[in-house]
């Protein structure tokens, strides 16, 4: 069965520091991976997906099939990046399996 | 822009009541989903539907049922509410391509349900 693990429940960094949110997955097929973000009092929204290989709000994520990882990175964190981040893998019919989530806090 | 609307932001019900949570999307999406969101557990799939009148169990369907009579509307039903169903409930929709669907999901604002 598919599984997504985000080992850090909480992550704190200072503004301008690099940030990396870890995500590991197990899935038998060809995975489609996503990062979703939920800012305070806002709805959950797509941040990026691996297939598009885009950089959104300065964030990037590379799919490493050998390590089965999809870590989210940003070289210089901003206070407005403070949010809950979820890694997810899609299976059949577009169903998503989510990780437990990581709360990122960026201090001024 | 896709709009997924959940009928209530906050709801308080009593143990044993039958509870209906409604969700409507305006983008003609085939797929619709119900999740519950709990701290430390992430989002867990309760039920999903890939077409009108079609429904499939997710990972935690016990105590819940769903209804999809129209394409734009997906209802979650708690048959007899219990305190362990106190949670945040999120509805989502996505474009469908059958079993190969892999499009991003669009979420509603959520319904915070408290069962007393």
DSSP string, A19-36: EEE--EEE-SS--EEEEE
Q: What share of chain B is helix, strand, coil (3-state, %, to 5)?
A: 5, 55, 45
Specify the CATH number for A3-107; select among 3.30.70.1380, 3.40.50.720, 3.20.20.240, 2.60.40.10. Answer: 2.60.40.10
Q: Kindly identify which residue of chain B lies nearest to residue A43, measuring between CA atoms.
A: B109
Q: In this complex, is the C-beta atom of A35 within 8 Å of any C-beta atom belonging to chain B?
A: no
Q: How far apart are CA A76 and CA A17, in angstroms?
A: 5
B110–A43: do the CB atoms touch at under 8 Å?
yes
Q: How far apart are CA B40 and CA A101, in angstroms?
A: 7
Q: How far apart are CA A55 and CA A62, in angstroms?
A: 11
A98–B102: do the CB atoms touch at under 8 Å?
no
CA B37 to chain A, closest CA, distance in angstroms equals 10
Q: B96: helix, coil or strand?
A: coil
Tokens 């429904």, residue located: B55
pLDDT digits (tens, 9 = 90+) for B57-97: 999 999 999 999 999 999 999 999 999 999 999 999 998 77
User: What pLDDT shows up at residue B28?
Assistant: 92
Torsion, Cα of A68, A74, A78, A82 (10° steps): -10
Angle at B27 between CA B74 and CA B52, to 5 degrees: 40
pLDDT digits (tens, 9 = 90+) for B44-66: 999 999 989 899 999 999 999 99
Asked whether the predicted pLDDT for residue A41 surpasses 80, the reply is yes
| Domains, chain B | 4-96+107-115 (2.60.40.10)
A100–B41: do the CB atoms touch at under 8 Å?
yes
Asked whether the predicted pLDDT for residue B99 surpasses 70, the reply is no
Q: A93: helix, coil or strand?
A: helix
Asked whether the predicted pLDDT for residue A64 surpasses 90, the reply is no
pLDDT digits (tens, 9 = 90+) for A3-25: 899 999 999 999 999 999 999 99
pLDDT band at A36 (very low <50, low <70, confident <90, very high): very high
Q: How far apart are CA B19 and CA B22, in angstroms?
A: 10
Q: How far apart are CA B11 and CA B26, in angstroms?
A: 23
Which residues of B touch chain A, with CB atoms under 8 Å apart?
A: 31, 33, 35, 40-45, 48, 50, 56, 58, 90, 94-96, 98-110
């Amino acid at each position: 069965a598919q599984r997504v693990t985000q080992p850090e429940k909480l992550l704190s960094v200072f503004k301008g520091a690099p940030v990396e949110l870890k995500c590991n997955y197990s899935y038998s097929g060809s995975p489609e991976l996503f990062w979703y973000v939920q800012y305070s009092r806002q709805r959950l929204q797509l941040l990026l997906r691996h297939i598009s290989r885009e950089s959104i709000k300065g964030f990037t994520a590379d799919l490493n099939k050998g390590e089965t990882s999809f870590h989210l990175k940003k070289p210089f964190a901003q206070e407005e990046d403070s949010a809950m981040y979820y890694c997810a893998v899609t299976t059949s019919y577009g169903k998503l399996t989510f990780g437990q989530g990581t709360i990122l806090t960026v201090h001024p | 822009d896709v709009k997924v609307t959940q009928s209530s932001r906050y709801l308080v019900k009593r143990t044993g009541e039958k509870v209906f949570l409604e969700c409507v999307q305006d983008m003609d999406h085939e797929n619709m989903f119900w999740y519950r969101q709990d701290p430390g557990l992430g989002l867990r799939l309760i039920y999903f539907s890939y077409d009108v009148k079609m429904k499939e169990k997710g990972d935690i369907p016990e105590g819940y049922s769903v209804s999809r009579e129209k394409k734009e509307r997906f209802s979650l039903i708690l048959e007899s509410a219990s305190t362990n169903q106190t949670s945040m409930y999120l509805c989502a929709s996505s474009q469908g391509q059958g079993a190969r669907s892999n499009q991003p999901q669009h979420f509603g604002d959520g319904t915070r349900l408290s069962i007393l």
